[in-house]
Structure 1
Amino acid sequence: MTQPLSGIRVLDLSRLLPGGYASQLLADFGADVIKVEEPGSGDYGRHMPPYGPSGMGLAFLAVNRNKRSLTLNLKSEEGRSIFLRLVRSADVLLESFRPGVMARLGLGYEQLREIRPELIYCAISGYGQDGPYSQRAGHDLNYLGYAGLLHYNRDQQGRPVMPPTQLADLAGGGLMAVIGILTALIGRSQTGQGRLVDVSMTEGAMALLPLAISGYLTTGQAPQPGHSPLDGGLPCYNIYETRDGGYITLAALEPKFWHAFCTRIGHLELLPFHTPVGPEERKQAIAILQSIFKTKTRDEWLAELADLDACVGPLYSLEEALSDPHAQARGVAHLSAIAGETLGTLRPFPRLSDTSPEERYQPPQLGEHSAAILSELGYSQEEIAAFRARGIV
């Protein structure tokens, strides 16, 4: 079955999570992703514990299926010459170096567009391609801090807490890169011209706060952590502990859901508290619901409310989420056999009609496909052997 992105070639020079996640999403739907790595070392994620099948780091294995690996020394003249030949057949280039690194190698966007005007050049960086912080080092936690997102991620004592996943890397970086690349590909189909996609992970993290930021920019008042409508400010949209220490998620925002919920639990006196206007009303209603939910275990509540159309659900652990009957029925887990061991990841998403996931390549060993790719570019076996001998590939 032809995949939607078949025929699209992506050169992925990125390392670690953001770029790897982005290019795997493209690869899963048919793009020919060539992972260009430094000889002898490659993507840092290959060597980060914990390790999985073939001794590769799980951080690498999780986001590098369906790709081919080419080692190439871009600091050498011959390596750059090979890379430029590769660019002539590429549709997309993805990199995550600090701004200016590729240009200093003679491989920046302005330089490459001279030989490949159709090229879509996507650069993922912490703070963007310009601005006073463009050269500043950082990781996911730093970007979330600068973006204001961590300000709203607090424990019950009001202290900022570590996020459960890499929101800036994955959503602010990887997903934004895919959106930018696909948008640019559609634009190219209309104009024939490529373009630069500038992905700032800090700005991408800010984009995850549209309601809070719009409210602040419009009114000058920023919502207080734990008090805005969707982060703990409403009794009808909150997390409640149960008798056994489990938790229930209640998201009865619409009046019809709130009415159904209050009716089922036999507390119609709570109906006026759907959207209390004052902080004392809010606290009073939340306290009442806290007491009510403490009367039964989580699973007792789930059984009692299972048939109720009122936006009620469990707060699952990761193990429970993956073993839930719905997740099982949808087949969200993807298992691969690598070197006699099992690697578990998530299946490709989103789901497209008339498209079945296929694993064309397992996460590649460093330089696993170098000879094949160089042969495709027209190099002879003798030339490839000479490149290896000189440390070019």
Structure 2
Amino acid sequence: MSGPLEGIKVVEMAGIGPGPFCAMMLADMGADVVRVTRPGDAPFGPANCDVNSRGKRTLVVDLKSSEGVAQVLALIENADVLVEGFRPGVMERLGLGPEVCLQRNPRLVFGRMTGWGQFGPLSHAAGHDLNYIALSGMLGAMGRHGEPPAPPLNLVGDYGGGAMMLAFGIACALVEASASGQGQVIDAAMTDGTALLGSLFYGMKGHGAWSARRGSNFLDGSAHFYDTYECADGKYVAIGSIEPQFYAQLLEALGLADDPAFARQQDKRQWPELKRRVAAVIATRTRADWVARMEGTDICFAPVLDMDEAPLHPHNVARRTFIEIDGVTQPAPAPRFSRTVPEVRHAPGQPHIDLAELLSQWQPEAS
């Protein structure tokens, strides 16, 4: 076997962002993912850099023709999962909506990925990751006090609250379908998923341990013991010494263990001044110096690496956190499995396949 989803057949309606990433996760875990693209569709940049297409095969179909729709339905008939990320109603207008597909294949797990969801006042509006996480309350919690909220790349909405939630939903629905013999529709909205990612913070706010005032909480960069600091060489380190025993080791490493001002770790009134003093100490040495002094201890320390440095760090090298495919360094499949070890079957952009060959491969085995 090659991954825990070996034998699962997935149809991905080609799109951008979280849909392809979700399907890539399924492919990484061993699923046979066929990406249905339209004639003339091209990857964003060179094909070997389209990391989200790795492990997949590609079928080119003209979805504007009745013949093309019939081809997709023939494929769906033997599929386990369909992944689509169009606006609500697009698949229905193509003649490939859930009702049609589930009638053709009652066991199908029909995964739908949108920003706002399949229903609600905003469901048909355009949007991007930043808009969806803004509505969840999470964007407003990110950034420094007195500064605008800081966009966290597309990690929170598109990939955390969107693609990974859909992949989790698909896995759940596959387990249920194996018992019931029935498929179902998954409505994965990034607004919902991002709100769910914020469960801890909503819970903390509920009992008064979290303030809606950005940049005033111990996990948002306000505390002197949980932030990033610039070193003498202009590089940065990340320190997260929350627990008292870890905090004590931090003060020892900084030469501040005997300073009474630092004894009141949780006194928020002191945090700005204590942060200034910690920053002044860290600025006296290079990042390499602090790595030599702190890395591997219980201080809760790490150097802030860029994307050139991260694949070369000894810990990432030891765990093979990054792999190289066709000359492109990229994150390896995750998480790890002890028995059904995943591997990437195809390089990004390869290979294309014709419908007849695919249907012959996807025919159910005779009992």
**Taking structure 1 as the reference length, what is the TM-score of the superposition?**
0.84
CA RMSD after TM alignment: 2.5
CA distance in 2, matches of 1:77, 1:295: 69
In structure 2, relative to structure 1, the CA distance for the partners of 1:273 and 1:312 (3 Å cut) is: farther
Match of 1:330 among 314, 319, 322: 319
Partner of 2:31: 31
Q: Give secondary structure in 2 for the equivalent of 1:318.
A: coil
Amino acid at match of 2:3: Q
CA distance in 1, matches of 2:281, 2:154: 32
Partner of 2:183: 194
Match of 2:224 among 224, 227, 235: 235
Partner of 1:351: 336
Partner of 1:275: 266
In structure 2, relative to structure 1, the CA distance for the partners of 1:372 and 1:82 (3 Å cut) is: same
CA distance in 1, matches of 2:28, 2:71: 26
Report how far residue 307 of structure 1 moved: 5.2
Are residues 1:185 and 2:174 paired?
yes
Partner of 2:12: 12
How many corresponding residue pairs?
A: 361
What pairs with 1:152-167 in structure 2 (closer than 5 Å)?
152-154=141-143, 158-167=147-156
What pairs with 1:240-319 in structure 2 (closer than 5 Å)?
240-268=229-257, 269=259, 270-276=261-267, 278=268, 280-306=269-295, 308-319=297-308
In structure 2, relative to structure 1, the CA distance for the partners of 1:47 and 1:266 (3 Å cut) is: closer
In structure 2, relative to structure 1, the CA distance for the partners of 1:359 and 1:78 (3 Å cut) is: same
Q: Give secondary structure in 1 for the equivalent of 2:170.
A: helix
Amino acid at match of 1:17: G
What pairs with 1:61-100 in structure 2 (closer than 5 Å)?
61-100=50-89
Structure 2: any 5+ residue segments left out of the alignment?
A: none
Equivalent residues of 1:70, 1:366 under 8 A apart? no
Q: Give secondary structure in 2 for the equivalent of 1:186.
A: helix
CA distance in 2, matches of 1:275, 1:230: 12
Partner of 1:320: 309
CA distance in 2, matches of 1:82, 1:318: 41
In structure 2, relative to structure 1, the CA distance for the partners of 1:252 and 1:373 (3 Å cut) is: same
In structure 2, relative to structure 1, the CA distance for the partners of 1:245 and 1:157 (3 Å cut) is: farther
- Post-superposition, which runs of at least 4 consecutive aligned residues in structure 1 deviate over 4 A? 216-222, 374-378
Partner of 1:120: 109
Report how far residue 109 of structure 1 moved: 1.5
Report how far residue 274 of structure 1 moved: 1.8
Report how far residue 375 of structure 1 moved: 4.8
Structure 1: any 5+ residue segments left out of the alignment?
A: 379-393
**Taking structure 2 as the reference length, what is the TM-score of the superposition?**
0.89
In structure 2, relative to structure 1, the CA distance for the partners of 1:307 and 1:5 (3 Å cut) is: closer
